[in-house]
Structure 1
Amino acid sequence: MESAVVEQRDRQTDDRYRAPALDKGLDILELLSEQPRGMTRAEIVKAMGRSASEIYRMLERLVARDYVSRSPEGDRYALTMKLFVLAHRHPPVRRLVARALPLMDAFARAALQSSHLVVPDTEQAIVVAQATCPGNWEFGIRVGTQIALLGTGSGHTLLAFQDPHLTEEALDRWQRDGKDHDMDAMRAELEACRNAGHRIGPSQQIRGVDDISVPIRSPEGHAIAVLTCPYIQRLDGKAQPEIDEVLALLKGVAQDLSLS
């Protein structure tokens, strides 16, 4: 009897604080979260059992706010990376930085190189931690710096190890927007990065620096962050670890930080 009273009271409370428009939006997001290739509007209408007009209005608002993307043909909808970005902002990022900094400092001492930690931030990425190497020379990037996904080694690594459907959706959108990049060449580079498990290549901003980037992964194997070492080769003959040794050290840090 008591449980029935509690259940009735809970139902009354739910009814009292209902927000139908919000419920519809959340229902759409939850539905699309289970569909890696997206759904057409007709499929969403059928699955939700609602009228086409109310689903259309809600989809348009979700597209406008960048929670949902529309295919180039205009008939298929899928989640963007925005929910992923929101889920990994602030407290989770602070926890990641707190765990990462001691490991990054130890890496800097062993590798004699600096490193920085990058997380996704909508259609860019942001540097959330930086470790300085000992000695007189280093190359570093300031915490809080926003960097491009398309024009940096860290950004390419984030793209390479995201959910492939989200990466492809982003590349298609940038291609439609006329971004100054060869997207076919980009796809080939991202595939090579995935196959290698890391990215090594000349910095796209500073001459003479080789960026070494490795992903920090979620339990599903997707990148939640990237560790990058801007590798500087000394010319004074002073001993330093080679680039393959530095890569192994950086991968060890990334593995310790990845979520199993």
Structure 2
Amino acid sequence: MQETTDYTVRNVKKALELLELLAESPEEITLPVLSASLGFSPNKIYRLLATLIERGLVERNRCSGAYRLGADTAALARKLLVSTNLTRPVSNDTPSATGGAELVGYAQPILEQLARTHDEAVYMTVIKDNEVLFLNMVDSLQPVKTEALTGRKFPFFTNAAGKVMKAVDSWDLLEKICKRDERKGKQPDLDQLAREMQQIRATGVAIDHGGLGDGVISVAVAVRDYAGMVVGAITMLGPSFRMLTERLEKEIIPSLREGAELLSERFGYARAEI
């Protein structure tokens, strides 16, 4: 009985490691690579993959045979918000703290409006354990667009959403986080990051070039609650040939600011009058 239990636990751990490996990879991964990376035989990895595919947590590319995260991981991410107090939204009628489900619900119509206006992918993003979690997304109708990131997590310093949400933290804390990630193979340029964060604090907007992939630009504005705490960020992604500087400054950033202000108001935030 003990042997069976140990075997089951080991399989569960490997399945979680498998999902984590797929989540961290920007590209699909083949079975041999997964087997070598996880130290499990190809047959055992294949059986784990078959189970995860059945549950919608993993998908297999029929042409290449490689694997990627499945669409149902996004549903798990949404359930995570419901079960944890990532936000404390309030309203004029019911000034009580609730779970994170409202963040997704309140954001959806705003994301839809932004996506319709600019025809680019728009996400609601939150910080979880110093990483950015990409939640619900409204996609563009463009023939050329960025890879869907729903349910994926990335180090905060690799994208605009993470930078704008972390801009309120002290530099000492951010430096410690970055140095800890360096030991995992991620090595941000701390001097450049310090300059970026200073500018983001001044403008309230973050723009990142290439952190989420070659030719991908992300731009984000923070969402705050009634206490002024950052609870998330509205984030737009697009290819660099469409996300031109003039378009960002004159069209996209003003819209993102307006959307973030509307969503922040739903959470009771009132910007101080100057």
Residue 142 of structure 1 and its aligned partner are, at CA, apart by: 3.1
The residue correspondences of 1:44-59 to structure 2 (distance < 5 A) are none
Q: 2:225 aligned with 1:218, yes or no?
A: yes
**Structure 1 contact 227–254 (Cα < 8 Å) conserved:** yes
Alpha-carbon distance in 1 for matches of 2:130, 2:114: 29
**Could you tell me which residue of structure 1 aligns to residue 261 of structure 2?**
255
**Could you tell me which residue of structure 1 aligns to residue 172 of structure 2?**
168
Residue 140 of structure 1 and its aligned partner are, at CA, apart by: 4.5
| Max Rg structure | 1
Alpha-carbon distance in 1 for matches of 2:197, 2:110: 27
**Could you tell me which residue of structure 2 aligns to residue 37 of structure 1?**
none
Q: 2:151 aligned with 1:144, yes or no?
A: yes
**Could you tell me which residue of structure 2 aligns to residue 81 of structure 1?**
none
Q: Aligned in 2, Cα 1:168/1:226: closer, same or farther, shift over 3 Å?
A: farther
Q: How many residues align?
A: 168
**Structure 2 contact 175–190 (Cα < 8 Å) conserved:** yes
**Could you tell me which residue of structure 2 aligns to residue 88 of structure 1?**
86
Alpha-carbon distance in 2 for matches of 1:216, 1:136: 30
5+ long unaligned stretches in structure 2: 1-82, 89-97, 270-274
TM-score (norm 2): 0.54
**Structure 2 contact 159–208 (Cα < 8 Å) conserved:** no
Local SS of the residue matching 2:148: coil
Residue 170 of structure 1 and its aligned partner are, at CA, apart by: 4.0
Q: 2:117 aligned with 1:119, yes or no?
A: no
TM-score (norm 1): 0.57
Q: Aligned in 2, Cα 1:173/1:249: closer, same or farther, shift over 3 Å?
A: closer
Residue 124 of structure 1 and its aligned partner are, at CA, apart by: 1.3
Q: 2:241 aligned with 1:243, yes or no?
A: no
Alpha-carbon distance in 2 for matches of 1:212, 1:169: 23
Residue 158 of structure 1 and its aligned partner are, at CA, apart by: 1.5
5+ long unaligned stretches in structure 1: 1-84, 236-240
Alpha-carbon distance in 1 for matches of 2:154, 2:211: 11
